[in-house]
Every structure is written in C-alpha cells, then in structure tokens.
Chains A and B, each alone.
Chain A
Amino acid sequence: MLDNLTQRFTGIVKNLRGQARLTESNIQDALREVRLALLEADVALPVVKEFIAKVKEAALGQEVIGNLQPGQALIGVVNRELTKLMGEHNDALNLAAVPPAVILMAGLQGAGKTTSSGKLAKLLREQDKKKVLLVSCDVYRPAAIEQLRTLAQQLDIDFFPSDISQKPLDIALAALDWARKHHHEVLIVDTAGRLAVDEAMMAEIKDLHAAVKPIETLFVVDAMTGQDAVNTAKAFGDALPLTGIILTKLDGDARGGAALSVRQITGKPIKFVGVSEKPNGLEAFHPERMAQRILGMGDVLSLLEDAQRNVDMGEAQKLAKKMQTGKGFDLNDFKMQIVQMKKMGGMSALMDKLPAQLSQAAAGAKIDERQINRTEGIINSMTPYERSHPELIKASRKRRIAAGAGVQVMHVNQLLNQFEQSQKMMKMISGKGGMAKMMRGMAGKLPGMR
C-alpha cells in the first residue's frame, strides 16, 4: 500500500541527507520532488499546492534550530503536515442516538458501499457488541439487494428484505420501523451508487437523509480515485451533511492520494479503510500511522493490532513462552504460526504493513499463498509424534509424508529446512533486539517466501 509514494519520500530523505544544511535552493528541489510525488499519487492539485506552501513555511523556520540533521528536520515537517492534512487522530463512529442509530452510506457506483456495509455491520457487532440491521435501498442496479442479502446471510447479520418495486424512501422508513420494534441498536442503510451530477438521484438521497435522520452519513470512496475525487467529494459534501469517510480498496497498489485529499476537501474524517476482500477487512483509519507509513516508517502498530484481533491469545502466549525459552518449538507450533498468519490476511497483507525499506528488500522474495497451503498440507500428513519430534523424520517417513500430502520428497525437505531456520529465528528473538531483529530475520525465513 502506498509503496510508490513511500519510495519517493525515502529518496527525498536520502538526497537531503548528504546536505549540510537546509537552504532555500535545496529545499526548493526537495519540495519539487514532494509535489511530484503527491501528484503522481493522485493527490488533488489544490491540496498539493496548499501542502507544499505549509511545509515550506514550516521548514524555513526550522532552519536555524534543526541544522544538525536537515533531512530529518524536513521529513519531520512533512510528517507533521501530512498527519495534520489527514486529520490528527482517528475518529470513531458516533452511535450516541436513541436506538436505532442510523448509518447512511453514500457514494459513486462501484466505490464499495455494499461490501463496506456488510463489513461495517460485522465490525459493529464484534467490536461494539451492537445488534445491527442491514437494509438496501438500491432498487436500480440488478441484484444489488440480493448482494446485501447474501452478505448478511454469510455474516449472520439481520437483514430487512426489500424489493425493486418499492421506493427507496419507503424501504428505509419500513426498515427503521422494523429496527425500532425489534430493538436493533444500529441500522445501516445501503444506497444505490450515484453520480454527483445526477440531480434526480442526489435529490433522492437528500430526501432519504431527511427521512431517516442518520447520526452517521458516510461517504464511501475508492482509494484508486484520481483527481476527480475532489469534485465528487465536494458535491456529496454539499448535498449531504457527511460525518465521515470510508476509503476502500486500500489493499491495491494505488498510491492512495485520495486519502490525502478527500479529508482536506470535505473537512470530514476518514473513519475506516477497506484493506482486504475478507469480511473483517475493514479497519479504523489512523492518520498518524498513515503519515509514518508514507514516510517509510512502516505500520508496525497496525500490524500488532491485527495480530491481537485475529490471533488466539492463549495459543500466542504459549508460543511466546516457548520462544522465550528457545526450547520446544516444534512443527505443531510451526503449523499454528501458518494458520494464524492466514487469519491475519496472509503474507501479502502482512507485507503491506512493513516499512518500505523492508518490503523492498523482500520484494524479490515472491510471496506465494499456495506454498503456504502446501506447507500446511505436509504438516497435516505427519503423525502427531513426528510433529513434536521432527528429528525423527528420515528418508522413509519423508516418502510416506510426501505421498500423503501429494508432493515430492523435495518439498518435505524444503519444509524441514524452513522449520530449522524458524527454530533458529525463535532463538534469535529470545535474545536481545526483539521485534526489529525478527523483522530483519523475516525475509526468506517465513513459510511461503522464497
């Protein structure tokens, strides 16, 4: 995520590192690079201009006190301004209303409203323990209602059925009534995608808003959006009293400039980001972490939060104990690592959260989710005793395991090698250095990376 932008910024720091002090001219060059980087990242031009002006002003003030490490001083300024631009802190949803608290979703076609509605419902149920009702007012796109119904069913969320013969307004009011009577705490109203220039459709959603009086009106926007993000965000912001933004598809390789500009133009906080196709792929947006990520510092905090949510804490503690002693780490633990990693969205989701320098180093190491599955298969073909005593596995056992897992003996050997390396890594972590050392050790040593 945002990798290209990150690389560019890393380059800026490097170039400035050689300089003795910040001067008007070398700041000028660096700022031109920042401008280019942001434009290439699809940050809207007016936002870029404002940003550059702010950074310049602040950086020139820093010249006197910060002249020991000019590169750091400038990046510090860029970081601060970038964080400010994206909103200083994470804004949670406001659900303090007489139940049901209504959340209205709005946005262009294909932004990801329906998928986000489903993910949000799941998040509210699991993290806030809310009783949620989903309803679709999209009577235009074929099978849009069916899509939300299917999602609701998959996620086991209550769904208020609607039909394309009904009016969106009637659907929403009926759902609201139902939610009241059945004690739902939150009602999420999904709407049809619409163009900001479509006056009839914009009037429709205004009416919808007036009728259901949502406490949260969320604008859903695709992270891949280009310069026009500014225009649509502005138009939706003018038509509806937006309370927040959901930025979707951030797991692609879009530079994500929309994240920088949408917030600035609407003045509303980005509350959530969509980070995977999985039902739990909706995360709270953390502006300060995003700024750090752009600057090449990685998003280790998000990674840890991820781990906490998806990983079985009991199992993890057991593993941690084993890691501390450096003893008793066997193939059962190795398999557990793989399973827990899969829960966290697989290697690629994990790699996104690492600092740029690290993911660059690992870029050559091709991530192959299939190989992770294969590794799991091989371990499943071992007896429990073999798993806890890997040293027993010699030629004939290898042949049996390979046949059981449907792979070559070669693959079993590869796995055992990987396991040995992991064992060594565990010992390394148990020593000093902790996380940083592990990160360094990660490339090439986790299953699935070659």
Chain B
Amino acid sequence: MFSFLKKTPATAESTNWLTRLTGSLARTGGQLTALLVPGGRIDEDLYEELETILITSDVGMDATRALLADVRHRVKEQQLTEAGQLKEALAHALLKLLQPLAQPLDVAPHKPFVIMLCGVNGAGKTTSIGKLAKHFQNRRKSVLLAAGDTFRAAAREQLMEWGKRNDVTVIAQQSGDAAAVIYDAVQAAQARGIDVVLADTAGRLTTQAHLMEEIKKVKRVIDKALPGAPHEVLLVLDANTGQNALSQVKAFDEALQVTGLVLTKLDGTAKGGVIAAIAKAHPIPVRFIGVGEGLDDLRPFVAEDFVAALLGLEQ
C-alpha cells in the first residue's frame, strides 16, 4: 500500500537530499507523528487537530477541507478504525493532490532552451538562477545568464557574481531595458550554440499594473528574438508565503502563462503547504524546490518525497 515509502533511495546523493528535506519539514511531521499514534480511536477531535495542522502549514482553507473530505471518504470506504491508519489515508490524499504537479523540466526539445524567471520581490529569483545554472551544468548543458533585473540596486552585480562562481557568461547592460538585455542574451546564445538561457527579471508585486505590463512586453520581445521562446516561464515562490502565493500564481499565470513553479527557502521552518492550496485551486507543475543555501540545494520536485517528508513517513 505504501510502496513509495519503502523504495530504497538510488544514490547517496538523494538520501542526503531526502534527509535534508525531511529535516526541514520535520516540524509538521513531528506534530503529525505525535498525533496519529497507532492504536488511538478516530474521532472528531482527531479531525479537528488534523485541520489545525494543515492550516498552520499554509495549506489553506479550501485545500484543507478537500483533503479532510478525501480522508473521511477513505476512512469510510476502507473501514479504517485506528488513528494510525489515518496518517496513511492523509498521505494518499495529499499524494493524489500533489502527484500531478511533479513534472520535471526537460530542456532537450529546444536549443537554446530559454527559461524566463518571474516573481515578487525577495522570492529568490536571482539566487535560484545561480542554482539552476549549476543544475544544468551538472547535466552537461552550456548555460548563459541574462541580467534582466535592471531595477533593483546591484541586481546585475549579484547575477554576475553567480556567473563568476559557476563560470558562466552573463549578458548585462549598464542600465536600461530588461527586454533589450534578454533579447541580446537570446541572440548571443543562438550565435554561441548555448543549450540553456536563464533570464532574470525584476521582482514585482502583482498589484503594480504597469510592471505587469512591462513583464508581458519582456516575454513578447523574447519571442521576437527566438520564435516560440521563452520555452519555460518559471514563477519563483517563497515557501514562507501564505495564501497570497495563490494570488501570485493566478496573476503571473494570467500575464505570462506560467509553465512551472520554483519553491524556495524550504530549509527554514516554513512548510510550503501552500503548494497543496495551489494544486487544488490553480495547478501548475512544480519544477524545483530549494532546500538549502548551497549551490546544489535546488532539486527537482518529487511528490512522494515531499509528502513523505511533510508527514514524517520515511523509514
């Protein structure tokens, strides 16, 4: 029944990562484990406790209700009677919700494969680009970075530093227009036969209508430089964010047709439960999650691991 939990990790690397993710999600897991000890009876108090825990993990009211309804259904259908079995039922309900989001990013179909990043201020876009560059380099892809955040002070310098650390070319201009910088970068990538272009953009709150218009323009201009590009629009979300993450997903998706999400800062006490809310209301594939400050700490999203770590189910 719980095959995904018994699967032995393929490499030492993934064990490390799972440990780290588990550690970072341990708070929630700990709460749940203490609650759902084998032997206890299933009653309304238990459901209410479950609701509390989901809410305090930022899962949100809608998704929490749906998850609990699913759990109740499973309890009835499978005639579960023990509190311990409730954990399994919840794991399956969560997995059913999150599994469709686990679609890894494949950059093979296009060359150069142009990835545009967007998000609110301070979500971790520039840092994620540094880590993504490393990720693709590890897979023997050549990478080029475009310093499209022309607004924030020293954003360009920050990206150039990431370029230096990864030994990757960064296309930047002294000042000016994000669209122009990224246009140049896409052209340079074509000329140099680069595999992946990572385009940074300035952070913006979705309420800023003129900035949302500007980023639409950036996308249109990329399409002019290379028809069909950008091939991936990644929205970077901070795991600390509450229900506002949903409205970020909706607003950026409406403006740019977001094709993937990056969930950053999962190494703190934040649980990233908002991903469940997103899965329920506005599902978009989660491509990567950030589990630490190191260059290697950005990993593909695996629903089984995420659920297992969230609920403290790993053996």
Contact = CB atoms under 8 A, between A and B. Distances in A.
A55 B121 CA distance: 36
A142 B209 contact: no
Interface string A240-279: 0000000001011111011000000000000000000100
B124 interface: yes
A154 B205 CA distance: 22
A187 interface: no
Interface in A95-138: 108-112, 115
A228 B161 contact: no
Interface stretch (B265-273, B280-288, B304-312): B265-273
Contact of A228 (B58, B213, B243, B251): B58
A231 B242 contact: no
Contacts of B162: 142
Nearest to A142: B161
Interface in B161-205: 161-162, 165, 205
B158 interface: yes
Interface in B114-138: 120-124, 127, 130
A78 interface: no
Contacts of B241: 222, 224-226
B58 A249 contact: no
B244 interface: yes
A220 to B, nearest CB: 10
A226 B242 contact: yes
B52 interface: yes
A255 B243 contact: yes
A224 B270 CA distance: 13
A394 to B, nearest CB: 33
Contacts of A149: 154
Given A45-B52, A110-B123, A226 B240 contact: yes
Interface in B146-168: 151-155, 157-158, 160-162, 165
Interface size grouping (class) on chain B? 35 or more
B81 to A, nearest CB: 29
A151 interface: yes
A224 B57 CA distance: 14
A225 B206 contact: no
A197 B269 CA distance: 7
B3 interface: no
B206 to A, nearest CB: 6
Contacts of B238: 110, 222, 224
A320 interface: no
B79 interface: no
A368 interface: yes
Give the interface size class of chain A.
35 or more
Interface stretch (A35-43, A169-177, A331-339): A35-43
Interface string A11-52: 000000000000000000000000010011110110000000
Contacts of B120: 224, 249, 252
A232 interface: yes
Given A45-B52, A147-B154, A254 B242 contact: yes
A75 interface: no
B61 A151 contact: no
A109 B265 contact: yes
Contacts of A195: 265, 267-269
Given A224-B241, A255-B244, A45 B154 contact: no
Given A228-B58, A253-B206, A42 B154 contact: no
Contacts of B260: none
A181 interface: no
B60 interface: yes
Contacts of B123: 110
Interface of B: 27, 52, 55-58, 60-61, 120-124, 127, 130, 151-155, 157-158, 160-162, 165, 205-210, 213, 238, 240-245, 247, 251, 265, 267-271, 274
28 contacts: A40-B60, A42-B244, A108-B268, A110-B124, A111-B122, A144-B154, A144-B158, A147-B155, A147-B158, A149-B154, A151-B153, A195-B265, A195-B267, A226-B242, A226-B245, A227-B242, A228-B58, A228-B240, A235-B269, A249-B205, A251-B205, A251-B208, A252-B244, A253-B251, A254-B242, A255-B243, A277-B208, A348-B209
Given A142-B161, A143-B157, A228-B271, 15 more contacts: A109-B124, A110-B121, A110-B238, A142-B158, A144-B154, A144-B158, A151-B153, A196-B269, A222-B240, A225-B242, A228-B270, A235-B269, A277-B121, A277-B151, A369-B210
